[in-house]
Structure 1
Amino acid sequence: MRLLVRKKIFAAYHDSNGNGETLYGLTHSSRWLLRDSELSLAPMILMENHPLLMAPWHCFSQCVKEGGIAFKIAHGKEIWDFALQNPEFNKLFNDGLACTSKIIARAIISGYKDGFSSINGSLVDVGGGTGELINEIVKSYPHIRGINFDLPHVVSTAPKFDGISHVDGDMFQAIPKADAAIMKFVLHDWSDEDCVKILRNCRNAIPEKTGKVLITEVIVKPDGNDLSDDTGLDFDLLMIAHSTGGKERTEVEWKKILEEAGFLRYNIINIPAIPFIIEAFP
């Protein structure tokens, strides 16, 4: 407990009765771990600390020496195929991502008000999981028709939301037509080549003149001094452990894959969260 107090996970107090007992209370950090809180990171913490997701970290040495994907070395399959064949793991994974969507959705909505107001029609959330992000957007902007798009075994577990259509499919094949597309923490799971494929499919799904793609991702700043810069580098390691050749990227790296996919203009928008919004136009 002394270590957790030093790390500001808990706060220590002396018992007012004078018996010398030390009492412990929550801090801003540990309040994120409350299960019954509306905004809780508990499902994400449980997911990332589950033995199935810890195992790939122990394969880094083999990856360096021999190459390969850490998750596949640990479990014989890449993470998406493993989730398809293991319903309990699929739920653990989806719950972990859904809780972050609720939190980041607030930052996205508050930081991109004019942008959402300008979408006249439909917005497809590519790799949208169980639909938490698109649901929060549509609740705030009910004029938008929401499409939650993900693999069949993911959307089959998604709850019903007003104004949201759940569509299953493969983003490497085609993406549902919409006036705009959004992706949150999707492209960092994939190699540059795969990202270009996904983005080209997004480009084909949106109008040539008025369409846009909103990419919510970390922008790595190796020399940055903010807490978010440290977290971005932590996420980079996380991608090695769990993704299929993915990584976090610098602005230069994002610009390269955007241009290869046919997005020659983009804006970077700060939001009150660790990731940024990259607003890309064909």
Structure 2
Amino acid sequence: MERNEEIMPILEKGQAAIWQLLFAFADSMALKCAVELRIADIIHSHGVPVTLNQIASEIDSPTSPDIPYLARIMRSLVHKKIFTEHHLPDGSDTLYGSTETSRWLLHDAELSLVPMVIMENNPWQLSPWHCLSQCVKEGGIAFQKAHGCEMWDFAAKNPEFNKIFNDAMTCTTKIMMGVVLTEYKDGFNSIGSLVDVGGGTGEMIAKIIKSHQHIKAINFDLPHVVAAAPLRQGVSHVGGNMFEAIPSADAIFIKCVLHDWSDEHCIKILKNCKKAIPPKSGKVIIVDIVLEKENDDLYQDTRMVFDLVMMAHTTGGKERTEVEWKQLLMDAGFPRYKIIKIPSIPSIIEAYPVM
């Protein structure tokens, strides 16, 4: 009997953990709901906490919003500390306010995670997750199993998805580049020309040359991606395939691209990077996740989840440990590297073709 009394709390704790994981998707769906209804924007526009009726009155809807539904969504978001809740002293109403978290859900803010919330919760991106066990059993690519083609081909054929994806990449670039430019500003000083491989619509390299105007900048991505890129002062957009050739420059910048691909694919990309830079003075600047078992900073859980995201969405992509990065770089002809930790999800890895 005593032994059962000792075991039961342990079993109950385990059960509670499974329940939380089982319904973890619900938090993401509530977040998506808040973004689609622009709840953070509505509250923020007032500058002070507002009532449920005030929020409802500003939701873009062909009919009157369902207040009880909205109240339940807000209760969940308050519980997760995305919004605050204040009860009036007389108990007549409840006021909902912004937080530092909800500011990341503003649509028109310079730094916002709204496009990422929209992309990662889109049905196109959610369906591959249901194929993970199938991938374990028989190998293959989850996105291809769900949609009949790889994500990059899907984007090339689907303008709506292509825009959703590019918007998400642009928003994360804005967030990460602020940190990169602060932590790595001296690293760009000696570079005369720079190619951003997989640079999307050019947001990233435009940020770099704004602070380092001496750099000749090339934004390099697939033709359908650069075709949708806006004109950016000082940036040349070049379409091509990084598996075939990369434009020549003093240095290559490659952010959150290598984690999209298998080791074999990455070696091809990195070997093309090596061909594109001077053999003695050139370098490749990689901005990507470095997994660490002992790291307990704010982003560690997110780094681990990103590895599963790569499994669900990419062509054999994965997040790598330092040991794995070292081997990858060696195999591609980069015997020397340096990891620079920054207060963000990724780190900066400098790779050199000579010792």
TM class by shorter chain equals over 0.9
Amino acid at match of 1:256: Q
2:106 aligned with 1:106, yes or no?
no
In the alignment, the residues of structure 2 paired with residue 15 and residue 56 of structure 1 have an alpha-carbon distance, to the nearest angstrom, of 46
Report Cα offsets for 1:63-89 as digits up to 9, x if no partner: 122221100000000001111111111
2:150 aligned with 1:78, yes or no?
yes
TM-score by length of 1: 0.97
| Aligned partner (choices 195, 212, 216) of residue 145 of structure 1 | 216
2:79 aligned with 1:6, yes or no?
yes
Larger Rg: 2
Instruction: Give the match's secondary structure for 2:236.
Output: strand
Give 1:21 deviation, angstroms. 2.0
Q: Is the 8 A contact 1:188 1:246 kept in 2?
A: yes
Give the aligned partner of residue 60 of structure 1: 132
| Aligned partner (choices 250, 253, 257) of residue 321 of structure 2 | 250
Report Cα offsets for 1:9-60 as digits up to 9, x if no partner: 11222236x3342222221122111001111111111011111001101111
Amino acid at match of 1:229: Q
Amino acid at match of 1:183: I
Q: Is the 8 A contact 1:59 1:74 kept in 2?
A: yes
Give 1:2 deviation, angstroms. 3.1
Amino acid at match of 2:76: L
In the alignment, the residues of structure 2 paired with residue 85 and residue 199 of structure 1 have an alpha-carbon distance, to the nearest angstrom, of 27
Instruction: Give the match's secondary structure for 2:187.
Output: helix
Report Cα offsets for 1:161-213 as digits up to 9, x if no partner: 11100000000000000010111100000001111110010000001111110
**Gapped regions of structure 2 (runs ≥ 5):** 1-73
Instruction: Give the match's secondary structure for 1:45.
Output: helix
Query: Greater shift after overlay, 149-158 or 222-231?
Result: 222-231
In the alignment, the residues of structure 2 paired with residue 183 and residue 240 of structure 1 have an alpha-carbon distance, to the nearest angstrom, of 20
In the alignment, the residues of structure 1 paired with residue 343 and residue 213 of structure 2 have an alpha-carbon distance, to the nearest angstrom, of 23
In the alignment, the residues of structure 2 paired with residue 205 and residue 9 of structure 1 have an alpha-carbon distance, to the nearest angstrom, of 46
Q: Is the 8 A contact 1:222 1:233 kept in 2?
A: no
Give 1:224 deviation, angstroms. 2.5
In the alignment, the residues of structure 1 paired with residue 79 and residue 168 of structure 2 have an alpha-carbon distance, to the nearest angstrom, of 27
TM-score by length of 2: 0.77
Q: Is the 8 A contact 1:220 1:249 kept in 2?
A: yes
Give the aligned partner of residue 115 of structure 1: 187
Give 1:222 deviation, angstroms. 2.8
2:240 aligned with 1:169, yes or no?
yes
User: Superposition pairs for residues 181-220 of structure 1, below 5 Å?
Assistant: 181-220=252-291
Give the aligned partner of residue 278 of structure 1: 349
Instruction: Give the match's secondary structure for 2:299.
Output: helix
Report Cα offsets for 1:218-259 as digits up to 9, x if no partner: 111134222221111010010011000000000000000001
Runs of 4+ in 1 over 6 A off after TM superposition: none
In the alignment, the residues of structure 2 paired with residue 79 and residue 147 of structure 1 have an alpha-carbon distance, to the nearest angstrom, of 24
Give 1:4 deviation, angstroms. 2.1
Give 1:113 deviation, angstroms. 1.2
Query: Which one has more relative contact order, counting CA pairs under 8 Å at least 6 apart?
Result: 1
Give 1:151 deviation, angstroms. 0.3
In the alignment, the residues of structure 2 paired with residue 191 and residue 211 of structure 1 have an alpha-carbon distance, to the nearest angstrom, of 24
**Gapped regions of structure 1 (runs ≥ 5):** none
Amino acid at match of 1:6: H
Instruction: Give the match's secondary structure for 1:72.
Output: helix
Identity %: 63
Q: Is the 8 A contact 1:79 1:242 kept in 2?
A: yes
CA RMSD of aligned residues (A): 1.1
Amino acid at match of 1:62: Q
Give the aligned partner of residue 23 of structure 1: 95
In the alignment, the residues of structure 2 paired with residue 198 and residue 15 of structure 1 have an alpha-carbon distance, to the nearest angstrom, of 60
Amino acid at match of 1:31: R
Instruction: Give the match's secondary structure for 2:163.
Output: helix
In the alignment, the residues of structure 1 paired with residue 145 and residue 92 of structure 2 have an alpha-carbon distance, to the nearest angstrom, of 51
In the alignment, the residues of structure 2 paired with residue 4 and residue 223 of structure 1 have an alpha-carbon distance, to the nearest angstrom, of 31
In the alignment, the residues of structure 2 paired with residue 142 and residue 237 of structure 1 have an alpha-carbon distance, to the nearest angstrom, of 38
| Count of paired positions | 280
